[in-house]
């Protein structure tokens, strides 16, 4: 892998001018063109001396990789091309090696990339400082504080999708080795008015959208929130979704960051509960209501939102409701309570929301500081990073823009002072005479704003504290009186007549000529925003909350600590914060990053000259260059200067043996550079004019080309000589290898020829030996064959003789056997009787019977009554015996099987047998019931408390308890009933209540009718004239019809000694009160699937459709 080429100076391969101090000529147009040229080539960083100009590229560039970090690590500031890493490394090394506290000031307007620049600075410092478990934990906490503060303090604006709406200053503390120990964060002026109202095309703070998008449903339910943005008045809907921003993923990042920083779970929960409460405050609306005394007061329209807010915060609903409707004013020992009209109520609601959110943000900063602060008390080195609003000039500028621009005036003042101070100190350090530099001092503008007597902020505070009617117009009148003659203050209503006819300046505005240009401020809202009042009733209501965090945010609400003194105004608080910040910055070595936004479209590759020109003016960049160039435009240490330009002088090339300063003097004298163009310091050479530097660069470039040609010539000669020597050496090696190969080839040929001759001789000898062996073998085989034929002849003769002898012996044996048989028969004939044949026959039969029974013993089938296997009949005369044995065996094994039954099982099988006799081949439903056991008690009446009343009413043993459907003759619809069969009665009861509807003695049941089809309908016919027959017969439907009919049949037979008539027909009559109705069963496809349905056709016909 080729080694990466590293630049040795920012002047190498320079696109445009890397350092604006060297720009020639220095004009506004040349300044912009140089920035544009570098921007078009993806060079987004440019220097003004030690100041870095950063242009937002609006795209990802491959210049922030770990390799780039290593490239800029421990390198001289001007050694490589301009980069934010170079400034970060310079600041870190000055802090680590020279023990100087540093601060990095990042300024620019919204969308210029200030927040990203601060992240890059922190990530670079985290990458180059020490390692270790504790150090890594501190670095991780410092880096993870950014996502938390961005979520709660950043918002989408028309200029920037992630605009910081607060100023942030972080002090990172290091030990003597340069390892981070911790940090402290300070925040300035959160734009809390954004909580209640956002300009068109902008969003509220990120955290509101992140919670609604990324929180789980359970978490939202706990916070009493819904995911729909349109449900909340404080959220603007026109920009609720931002392209390229995943609020759900960012929410998970924020929760993870809070955990890393050190937030406990209950603290995180409390923070999100406060955010939810702020969001729901915007949904509280008021309506006017007149009192008896004629005063107007406000009432809350819908109290559901108020109720949920109180549940979230733990505040008594009545207390908070009163705080929104009344205001208590205390003066000495008196308390006066006044009602709030609708406008005042809305003001109180918004003031509470703004204060609640801003105090939560301040608490977050304090809590993060507790986690990231240094744990040791050793002396620390400090690097501060300031990320604060840039100078703002909008169409409508209000109080927020006024104090932001005041802060930028102070930063510009300290920038000029520290830059001049740094220049003067370097000149003194190098022994060069210091000359006074003319520059614009903006102290007069700062005094116009912050003067304790006549400053704008002082007069604004005085107007807010003045008794009587105070409005924005009275404040403007006071400004016109006091500041009319100030050269940087303009107002159409002032005493200065030059602005009376200035139509570009409205009557309700004033204009200040800042260092960056003129800004016109709308005076509307100055007094209210400076007062930033929160009614004491609301503070006390918040303090009464059971929510720990909310109670801690409003300590002034404690009745025991009531302070009648007016709280400080927003302007005075910010002025004090800026003064503290300036004092802090003056104790540190400053490093500057000026951020510029190339276009308003937030698009890559677009450079708007007018927009960039506007930012260059209000950032004072040209002024900065002029200050740097007022003395000497370029300075460089002697060693790198001599190393860079030594090839321009024969005395210094290629090596200078003496001191570096002497070598530079010889070099400059040789080049005949005028003495007024440079000065020699103690360690550096100072060049006054950029043209001199560019002349040196042109001479160096030409000399490098000459040296390159010389080096190329020498290299080519060396390469040709080396190639010739290599070819010569190769020829010798090739020749020696060829001679060796030729000798080896000759030897191989001789060797192969000798082997061939040897093989032929060996073959001839082998063939000769083979012929001799074959002749000897043929002789041996001939003798063997002759002997074999002789032995065969001898054997056949002997075999023939033996066969003849064997025939003779066999004939003798046969004759002897016949003789003995004849002799025995003659001897037995005198003992033979006439009935011997019958006995032999009986003996034979006896033996056959014995054999038959023994075989039957081994072939007997199983003892299962359903096993129909039986051995085959062996003899025809045993046919009747075989069938009788089969019958006897079956009867015996059935008896054996029955003997195993319990009484309960016998009863069940008797019922099954009875059902078979009643319904087999008669009812289509019967086959399905064969495999189902008859349970009887399908309802556990004795165990179910629901049927306690029914159980108490029935004293007899229940034979069957089942839920049946009773068919209504009027419409054919079914009603659920409980069917109970006891020893003496049939009962129907209500399924829900358990009340008995009908009770029929078994003696009154005359017949049961049912169809032959696959349905569960049956009719219970009652005896005419009986007490139970008043309402007529029962038409019922059951899923256990076969079981119910069988048990009813057996029970009736047992009690009345008469068989119950079971009628199976597809058409039968049923008596309903005085009428007889025909029930007819038909086949048909049903909409209800396989469920039979009953339908009333007319007064005399009920039709049951069976699938």
Q: Which residues are known catalytic residues?
A: 110-111, 115, 160, 163-164, 390, 392
Instruction: Give 172's Cβ-side CA count (13 Å radius).
Output: 29
The reply to whether omega before 654 is within 30° of 0 (cis) is yes
| Separation CA 596–CA 515 (nearest Å) | 17
Instruction: Give 1030's Cβ-side CA count (13 Å radius).
Output: 5
Parallel, antiparallel, or unpaired: how do β-strands 509-514 and 517-522 relate? antiparallel
* 3-class DSSP state of 679: strand
Q: Of 577, 482, 475, which Cα lies nearest the Cα of 521? A: 475
Residue whose token pair is 């002759």: 786
Residue whose token pair is 């920035």: 35
Residue whose token pair is 């001191």: 659
What is the sign, positive or negative, of the torsion defined by CA atoms of 214, 216, 221, 222?
negative
Helical (H) or strand (E) element with 383: strand 381-387
Distance of CA 200 to the CA centre of its chain: 31
Instruction: Give 319's Cβ-side CA count (13 Å radius).
Output: 18
What six digits make up the tokens of 690? 């950029």
* Percent helix, percent strand, percent coil in the chain, to nearest 5: 50, 15, 30
| Separation CA 895–CA 917 (nearest Å) | 21
Strand order in the sheet with 684-687: 634-637, 684-687, 678-680
Query: DSSP per residue over 561-604, as a string?
Result: G---SPPPPHHHHHHHHHHHHHHHHHTSEEEEEEEE---SS--T
Q: Of 274, 354, 353, 208, which Cα lies nearest the Cα of 547? A: 274
Parallel, antiparallel, or unpaired: how do β-strands 634-637 and 684-687 relate? antiparallel
| Separation CA 533–CA 871 (nearest Å) | 113
Q: Contact 998/1031 with Cβ under 8 angstroms?
A: yes
Instruction: Give 190's Cβ-side CA count (13 Å radius).
Output: 26
Q: Of 867, 865, 933, 934, which Cα lies nearest the Cα of 900? A: 865
Q: Contact 188/574 with Cβ under 8 angstroms?
A: yes
Can you state the angle between helices 609-619 and 621-629, rounded to 10 degrees? 60
Region label for 911, one of left (φ > 0), alpha (ψ between -120 and 50) or beta (otherwise): alpha
Kindly list the distances between the CA atom of residue 369 and the CA atoms of 119, 183, 420, 538, 661, in Å, as whole numbers in the listed order. Answer: 18, 7, 34, 28, 50
Task: Tell me the β-bridge partners of 989.
Answer: 978, 996
Kindly list the distances between the CA atom of residue 543 and the CA atoms of 54, 307, 318, 506, in Å, as whole numbers in the listed order. Answer: 47, 17, 14, 44
Q: What angle (nearest 5°) sits at the alpha carbon of residue 66, between those of residues 62 and 71?
A: 90
Residue whose token pair is 């023990």: 99
Q: Contact 677/687 with Cβ under 8 angstroms?
A: yes
Helical (H) or strand (E) element with 1045: helix 1041-1056
* 3-class DSSP state of 780: helix
Q: Of 104, 98, 113, which Cα lies nearest the Cα of 86? A: 104
| Separation CA 798–CA 131 (nearest Å) | 116
| Separation CA 708–CA 894 (nearest Å) | 121
| Separation CA 119–CA 116 (nearest Å) | 5
């Amino acid at each position: 892998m080729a080694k990466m080429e590293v630049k040795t100076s920012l002047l190498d391969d320079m696109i445009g001018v890397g350092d604006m101090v060297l720009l020639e000529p220095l004009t506004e147009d040349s300044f912009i063109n140089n920035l544009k040229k570098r921007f078009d080539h993806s060079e987004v960083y440019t220097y003004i001396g030690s100041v870095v100009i950063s242009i937002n590229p609006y795209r990802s560039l491959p210049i922030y990789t770990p390799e780039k970090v290593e490239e800029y690590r421990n390198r001289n500031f001007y050694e490589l091309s301009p980069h934010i890493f170079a400034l970060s490394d310079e600041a870190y090394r000055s802090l680590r090696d020279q023990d100087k506290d540093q601060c990095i000031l990042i300024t620019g307007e919204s969308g210029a990339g200030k927040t990203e620049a601060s992240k890059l600075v922190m990530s670079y410092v985290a990458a180059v400082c020490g390692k270790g478990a504790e150090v890594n934990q501190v670095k991780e906490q410092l880096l993870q504080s950014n996502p938390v503060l961005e979520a709660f303090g950043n918002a989408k604006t028309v200029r920037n999708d992630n605009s910081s709406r607060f100023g942030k200053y972080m002090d990172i503390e290091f030990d003597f080795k340069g390892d981070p120990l911790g940090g402290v964060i300070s925040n300035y002026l959160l734009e809390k008015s954004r909580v209640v109202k956002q300009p068109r095309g902008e969003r509220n703070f990120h955290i509101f959208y992140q919670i609604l998008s990324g929180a789980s449903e359970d978490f939202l339910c706990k916070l009493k929130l819904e995911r729909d943005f349109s449900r909340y008045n404080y959220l603007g809907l026109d920009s609720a979704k931002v392209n390229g921003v995943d609020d759900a993923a960012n929410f998970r990042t924020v929760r993870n960051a809070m955990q890393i920083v050190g937030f406990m779970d209950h603290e995180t929960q409390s923070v999100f509960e406060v955010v939810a409460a702020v969001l729901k405050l915007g949904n509280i609306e008021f309506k006017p209501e007149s009192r008896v005394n004629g005063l107007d007061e406000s009432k809350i329209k819908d109290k559901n939102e108020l109720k949920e807010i109180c549940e979230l915060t733990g505040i008594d609903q009545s207390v908070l409701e009163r705080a929104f409707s009344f205001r208590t004013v205390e003066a000495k020992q008196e308390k006066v309570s006044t009602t709030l009209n609708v406008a005042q109520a809305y003001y109180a609601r918004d003031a509470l929301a703004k204060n609640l959110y801003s105090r939560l943000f301040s608490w977050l900063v304090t809590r993060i500081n507790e986690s990231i602060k240094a744990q040791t008390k050793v002396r620390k080195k400090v690097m501060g990073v300031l990320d604060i609003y840039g100078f703002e000039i909008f169409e409508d500028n209000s109080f927020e823009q006024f104090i932001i621009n005041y802060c930028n005036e102070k930063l510009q003042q300290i920038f000029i002072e520290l830059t001049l101070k740094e220049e003067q100190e370097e000149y003194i350090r190098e022994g060069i005479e210091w000359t006074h530099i003319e520059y614009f001092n903006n102290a007069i503008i700062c005094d116009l704003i912050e003067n304790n007597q006549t400053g704008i902020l002082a007069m604004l505070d005085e107007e807010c504290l003045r008794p009587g009617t105070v409005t924005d117009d009275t404040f403007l009148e006071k400004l016109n009186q006091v500041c009319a003659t100030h050269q940087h203050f303009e107002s159409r209503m002032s005493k200065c007549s030059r602005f009376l006819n200035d139509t570009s300046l409205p009557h309700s505005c004033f204009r200040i000529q800042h260092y960056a240009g003129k800004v016109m401020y709308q005076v509307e809202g100055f007094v209210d925003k400076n007062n930033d009042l929160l009614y004491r009733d609301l503070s006390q209501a918040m303090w009464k909350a059971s929510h720990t965090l909310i109670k801690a945010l409003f300590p002034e609400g404690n009745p025991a600590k009531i302070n009648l003194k007016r709280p400080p105004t927003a302007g005075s608080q910010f002025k004090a914060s800026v003064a503290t910040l300036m004092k802090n910055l003056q104790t540190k070595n400053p490093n500057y990053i000026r951020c510029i936004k190339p276009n308003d479209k937030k698009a890559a590759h677009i450079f708007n000259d007018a927009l960039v020109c506007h930012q260059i003016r209000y950032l004072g960049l040209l002024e900065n260059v002029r200050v740097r160039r007022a003395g000497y435009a370029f300075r460089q240490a002697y060693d790198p200067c001599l190393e860079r330009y030594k090839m321009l002088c024969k005395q210094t090339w290629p090596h200078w043996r003496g001191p570096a300063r002497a070598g530079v003097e010889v070099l400059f004298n040789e080049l005949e550079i005028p003495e007024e163009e440079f000065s020699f310091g103690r360690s550096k050479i100072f060049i006054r004019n950029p043209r001199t530097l560019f002349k040196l660069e042109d001479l160096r470039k030409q000399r490098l080309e000459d040296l390159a040609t010389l080096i190329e010539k020498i290299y080519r000669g060396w390469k040709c000589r080396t190639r010739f020597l290599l070819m010569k050496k190769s020829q010798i090696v090739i020749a020696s290898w060829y001679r060796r190969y030729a000798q080896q080839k000759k030897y191989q040929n001789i060797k192969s020829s000798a082997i061939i001759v040897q093989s032929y001789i060996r073959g001839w000898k082998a063939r000769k030996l083979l012929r001799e062996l074959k002749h000897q073998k043929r002789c041996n085989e001939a003798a063997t064959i002759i002997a074999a034929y002789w032995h065969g002849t001898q054997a056949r003769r002997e075999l023939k003789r033996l066969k003849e002898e064997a025939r003779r012996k066999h004939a003798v044996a046969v004759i002897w056997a016949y003789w003995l048989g004849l002799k025995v028969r003659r001897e037995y004939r005198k003992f033979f009787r006439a009935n011997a044949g019958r006995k032999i026959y009986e003996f034979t039969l006896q033996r056959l019977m014995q054999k038959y029974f023994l075989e039957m013993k081994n072939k007997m089938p199983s003892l299962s009554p359903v096993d129909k296997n039986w051995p085959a009949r062996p003899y025809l005369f045993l046919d009747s015996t075989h069938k009788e044995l089969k019958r006897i065996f079956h009867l015996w094994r059935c008896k054996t099987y029955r003997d195993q039954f319990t009484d309960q099982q016998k009863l069940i099988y008797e019922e099954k047998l009875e059902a078979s006799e009643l319904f087999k081949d008669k009812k289509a439903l019967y086959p399905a019931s064969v495999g189902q056991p008859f349970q009887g008690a399908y309802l556990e009446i004795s165990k179910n408390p629901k049927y306690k009343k029914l159980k108490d009413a029935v004293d007899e043993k229940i034979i069957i308890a089942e839920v049946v459907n009773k068919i209504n003759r009027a419409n054919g619809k079914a009603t659920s009933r409980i069917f109970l069969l006891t020893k003496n009665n049939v009962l129907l009861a209500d399924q829900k209540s358990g009340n008995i509807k009908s009770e029929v003695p078994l003696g009154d049941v005359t017949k049961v009718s049912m169809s032959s089809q696959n349905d569960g309908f049956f009719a219970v016919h009652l005896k005419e004239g009986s007490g139970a027959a008043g309402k007529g017969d029962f038409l019922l439907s059951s899923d256990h019809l076969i079981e119910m009919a069988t048990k009813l049949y057996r029970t009736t037979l047992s009690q009345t000694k008469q068989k119950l008539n079971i009628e199976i027909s597809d058409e039968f009559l049923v008596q309903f009160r005085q009428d007889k109705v025909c029930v007819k069963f038909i086949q048909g496809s049903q909409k209800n699937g396989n469920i039979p349905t009953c339908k009333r056709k007319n007064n005399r016909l009920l039709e049951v459709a069976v699938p």
